Amino acid sequence: MATIAAPTHAGHAEASSQNTGIWSWIATTDHKRIGTLYLWTALFFFLVGGLEAVLIRTQLMKPNMGFVSAETYNQLFTMHGTTMVFLAIMPLSAAFFNFLIPLQIGARDVAFPRLNAFSYWVYLLGGIFLTVPILFDVAPNGGWFGYAPLTTVQFSPGHNIDFWVIGLQVLGVSSLAAAFNFITTIINMRAPGMTLMRMPMFTWMSFVVQFLLVLAFPPITVALVFLLMDRFFGTTFYAIAAGADPLLWQHLFWVFGHPEVYILILPAFGLVSEVLPTFSKKPLFGYNVMVYSGIMIGFLGFGVWAHHMFAVGMGAVADSIFSMMTMLIAIPTGVKIFNWIATMWAGEVRFEVPMKFAIALIGMFTIGGISGVMHSSPPADLQQTDTYFIVAHFHYVLFGGSIMGIFAGIYHYYPKMTGRFMDTGLGNLHFWGNLIGMNLTFFPMHFSGLYGMPRRIYQYDSGQGWDLFNLMSTYGTYLIALSTLVFVWNFVRSRTRGAVAGNDPWGAGTLEWSIPSPPPEYNFAQLPEVTSRYPLWDLKDPSKTAGIAHSHADAMTITDAHAVPVHEETERFTAKELGIPMPLPTAKPLFTAVGLMTMFSGLLFLRNDLFAVAMTITIGGACMFIGGLYAWLTSPLE
Amino acid sequence: MASHAAAAPHTAGADAGHDDGHEHHHYTTTGLDNRKIAIWAFLGSECMLFASLISTYLIYKGKSLVGPFPHTEWVNEAGKRFEPILDIPVTSASTAVLLASSFAMVLALQAVQLKGKPIAATAGWWERIQRSSQFWLAATAFLGATFLGFQAYEFTSFVHEGLTIKTNLFGSTFFTLTGFHGAHVTVGVLWLMTLLWIDRTRGLGPKDELIVDICALYWHFVDVVWIVIFTLVYLIS
């Protein structure tokens, strides 16, 4: 303990010199840095996907525009969907998983820090692999759900789909590795006293999401393996001429695809469940029910996939079952909405920027949720499917839900991540631009859809009643784009210019706010002993601190002797001074990730009859991958 | 009371913990090692992987437009006869080999657990061999490799009989499903050989029980999957 009582501040300069420079990022195993890498990378891809949206909307601005060709348009809408789902929203959630979960449960890091770095590098490489082809006009062009047999060689002979199938396969590895890591972290790395039912709601929703990832990614992995085998090795999984079932892909894809919807939204639900109590100065209303409804959504999410397929003619029985299941899943979701409203009810509501985004999520997501219930009915769905009505629906839940929630999270946690606030004026400008822009973009799509405008057409004739709605949507998109630029400016500038934030700038109650901002590399100088859901609020409430000390004394006898009651940690030490062993920096996860990506990319050459080249690259990549894995597993972590 | 809580980091209880050299970062909530939980999460995911592969096989069962077929004979346009292609006696033998490997795996784990416990001077050959983790790891890897040998033989003979991965839906689903399983066995054999290598270089002790245990979990899982595949693909026609 002498190390804590008499810290030597001379160590600071030495430690900080090791902690800067590009190498410190390449070799990092610190969950907070990996979270930061995820955040920056995912924001970059968010801008790429947004740019694609701007190009799409420019083409659709007026009837029969010739801004881009039909082929380019196919690539744009495919890559817009793929980028936003797999390269923007999922990794933005992953940024928060990385940064927040260990802090919220009182852990020093994730369970497997190097596996965590591996997940990030695989994501980065897979993202680059998927995105670069659009610069050469060979981007994937089969829609974000890539229906086979459309995506087999017979109908998509180019390399476009090859990039898609390999890229998604590689990204799946990243998501699965991360999911194993976070499941283990949440089950096994919680601080003493952090029972499951005391976990912050973001960690709870993330926990549910990890199970969805673990169970939903294998079916799409298998679907992609079949497609990959069909495209590269001539198998017959999707060959109708050989007797294949044209619905096989659709089933396998949507068994993944629907849980994926909840993978995209539940982290945002978790984030707003942190923001709303903080800015209402009230504990989350109905915590238990919020947990159960999250788990319920996770379970039911696996039983509704075929509502994406009502139009294929599965028969009355299947349609009825999936229709009922879909209506059922609206219940736990509605429960969450009402609990959020009840959290704000009679609270001391402060309309800070994160709070505005959180409230926007409640409103906008509800609109998307209600239109979702509308097409849970097969007869209604048959009218709406493949029209802009569907596009309107899922943008209200994804933009109005996931993106609004993630922005709430970014404004809320920026002070924790960087030690500085984002600018409030620019934040408000971004918020209103975003809110008005999204409604201007997506609300008219309900009408263009009901007037019969199909998805994915690159031109339309005038005189069908679609012109005005399309023009509105396009201007709305421009407004979103402009407000996003305001956000980027604010995000970059505030790192050095923002007002300095302390440990707990918003007066929040959970563990991550008890430590300095940005948190020291070891997170908690001592493992906190947790006695309630909002330990920091208890600390400030004299009537409750008696209870803490009491249960602390009890806990000392039965749990870990090193834990101390939750308190604000204000002094900064180095891990060395505190005697905390930290994971060593290593580039082996990056090396291994490069091996994995190389191994898969060799396949590209198979279809050009360059068998020797393909084999050389693939075997070389495999050797790198296996060698990297052995080097990594045989070297010590700390 | 608030000041008491704030002062708590410096209480004697916490100090003693730091000074006794106990590695407090190894504290886990459940008391289990992280790797043990991760392998179960991984196996859960693997269940879904094989469930998807097996479902596809079953969906496409009997849908092939041309032969050779698994359980029925087929005559092509040229009048050439093809026998039912699956050789159940041979595969039963390879299945028995794989089952035996799971038995060897159990004994390998037991051998590691028994390390460090004294052995009686009068112990017979079985008791001595029971203590040899190297023997049982090698035996497990050998039996796994034998299974792979059977599979290589099966695949080659199918190709000679005119069934490739491109021939029909049966060929595509059969080779992909059993090939995926074979790849899992290959990873398992490499894993076992790595453990054997560690055992030969630095020796596995009682503290290494966990790394053998997670390998065993994986190995038994792969074995169980084969029992499902063997039943659904080979035995039920």
Mind listing the pLDDT tens digit for each residue in A176-213?
Answer: 999 999 999 999 999 999 999 999 999 999 999 999 99
Both tokens assigned to B173:
């689903």
Tell me the pTM.
Answer: 0.92
Nearest-angstrom CA–CA distance, A263 and A638: 33
Helix (H, G, I), strand (E, B) or coil at A605: helix
**Which CB contacts under 8 angstroms, 24+ apart, belong to A373-379?**
A373/A326, A373/A327, A373/A330, A375/A307, A376/A307, A376/A323, A376/A326, A376/A327, A376/A330, A377/A323, A378/A310, A378/A319, A378/A320, A378/A323
Give percent of chain A with pLDDT exceeding 90: 86
Per domain, the residue ranges of chain A are 23-542+549-554+556-585, 590-638
The whole-number average pLDDT for the span B163-173 is: 95
Q: Which amino acid is at A467?
A: D
Find chain B residues with C-beta within 8 A of A172's C-beta: none
Q: How far is A542 from chain B (nearest CA, A)?
A: 7
Closest Cβ–Cβ partner in B6, B23, B25 for A567: B6
Mind listing the pLDDT tens digit for each residue in A450-502?
Answer: 999 999 999 999 999 999 999 999 999 999 999 999 999 999 999 999 999 99
Judged by CB atoms closer than 8 Å, whether chains meet at A176 and B176 is answered as no
Both tokens assigned to A486:
């305001």
Mind listing the pLDDT tens digit for each residue in B99-144?
Answer: 999 999 999 999 999 988 888 888 889 888 999 999 999 999 999 9
Rg (alpha carbons) of chain A, rounded to whole number = 25
Sign of CA dihedral A170, A171, A174, A175: negative
Both tokens assigned to B232:
């659904």
Helix (H, G, I), strand (E, B) or coil at A529: strand
Q: Considering only alpha carbons, which residue of chain A is nearest residue B18? A: A1
Closest Cβ–Cβ partner in A216, A235, A580 for B165: A235
Q: Is A550 on the interface with B (CB under 8 A)?
A: no
Q: Is A245 on the interface with B (CB under 8 A)?
A: yes
Per-residue pLDDT band for B26 (boundaries 50, 70, 90) equals low
Q: Tally helices (H) and strands (E) across chain B.
A: 8, 2
**CATH match for A23-542+549-554+556-585 among 1.10.3260.10, 3.30.565.10, 1.20.210.10, 3.40.50.300:** 1.20.210.10
Q: Is the peptide bond before B68 cis (omega within 30 degrees of 0)?
A: yes
**CA distances for B159 relative to A406, B73, B110, B156, B164, angstroms:** 53, 16, 41, 5, 5
Q: How far is B12 from chain A (nearest CA, A)?
A: 9
Per domain, the residue ranges of chain B are 34-235
Judged by CB atoms closer than 8 Å, whether chains meet at A560 and B166 is answered as no
Q: Are A503 and A515 in contact (CB under 8 A)?
A: yes
**Which CB contacts under 8 angstroms, 24+ apart, belong to A489-493?**
A489/A426, A490/A422, A490/A423, A490/A426, A490/A427, A490/A430, A491/A43, A491/A410, A491/A414, A491/A422, A493/A423
Q: How far is A54 from chain B (nearest CA, A)?
A: 38
Question: For residue A384, how many other CB atoms are within 10 A of its CB?
Answer: 21
Q: Are A41 and A131 in contact (CB under 8 A)?
A: no
Query: Which of A145, A131, A139 lies closest to A162, judged by CA?
Result: A139
Query: Would you identify the CATH topology of the domain B34-235?
Result: Four Helix Bundle (Hemerythrin (Met), subunit A) (1.20.120)
Mind listing the pLDDT tens digit for each residue in A101-159?
Answer: 999 999 999 999 999 999 999 999 999 999 999 999 999 999 999 999 999 999 999 99
Find chain A residues with C-beta within 8 A of B51's C-beta: 218
Q: Which residues of A are catalytic?
A: 80, 109, 144, 174-175, 258, 260, 262, 273, 307-308, 333, 336, 455
